Amino acid sequence: MDILSDTLAALRTGRPSVVRTDARAPWGVRFQPISGAGFHVVVEGRCFLLPVGGDPIELGPGDVVFLRRGTDHAICDAVAGEPVAFEPDRVDTSSPIGSFSVGGDGARSVLVCGAYHLDIDRPHPLLGDLPEVIHLPASPGRHPALRSAVDQLCAEIHRPQPGSDSVVTALVDLLLLYILRSWYAELPRERTQGWASALNDPLIAPALKAIHDDPAYPWTVELLGSRAGLSRAAFARRFTAVVGEPPLSYLTTWRMAIAARMLRETGDSLGAVAENAGYTSEFAFAKAFKRHFGAPPGAYRRERRERRAVASSL
Give the up-direction half-sphere exposure of residue 153: CA atoms within 13 A in the CB hemisphere.
34
Q: What integer pLDDT is reported at residue 310 of this predicted model? A: 59
Lowest mean pLDDT among 2-16, 18-32, 38-52: 2-16
Mean pLDDT rounded to a whole number for the chain: 89
CA dihedral sign of residues 282, 283, 288, 293: positive
Residue with the larger pLDDT of the pair 100 and 304: 100
Lowest mean pLDDT among 8-12, 39-43, 224-228, 264-268: 8-12
What are 76's strand-pairing partners?
28, 48
Q: 195-313 belongs to which homologous superfamily?
A: Homeodomain-like (1.10.10.60)
- pLDDT grade, residue 314 (50/70/90)? very low
| Domains 3-185 and 195-313 are alike in CATH topology | no
Highest mean pLDDT among 90-104, 166-180, 224-238, 296-310: 224-238
| Selection from 30, 25, 67, 31 nearest residue 46 by Cα | 25
Residue with the larger pLDDT of the pair 121 and 52: 52
In the chain, pLDDT over 90 holds for what percent of residues?
56
- pLDDT grade, residue 290 (50/70/90)? very high
Domain boundaries, the chain: 3-185, 195-313
Determine the average pLDDT of the residues in 107-117. Answer: 92
State pLDDT tens for residues 205-222: 999 999 999 999 999 999
In the chain, pLDDT over 70 holds for what percent of residues?
93
- pLDDT grade, residue 195 (50/70/90)? confident
Q: What integer pLDDT is reported at residue 22 of this predicted model? A: 94
- pLDDT grade, residue 93 (50/70/90)? low
Residue with the larger pLDDT of the pair 279 and 91: 279
- pLDDT grade, residue 190 (50/70/90)? low
Q: Which CATH number fits domain 3-185: 3.40.50.300, 3.30.1120.130, 2.60.120.280, 2.40.110.10?
A: 2.60.120.280
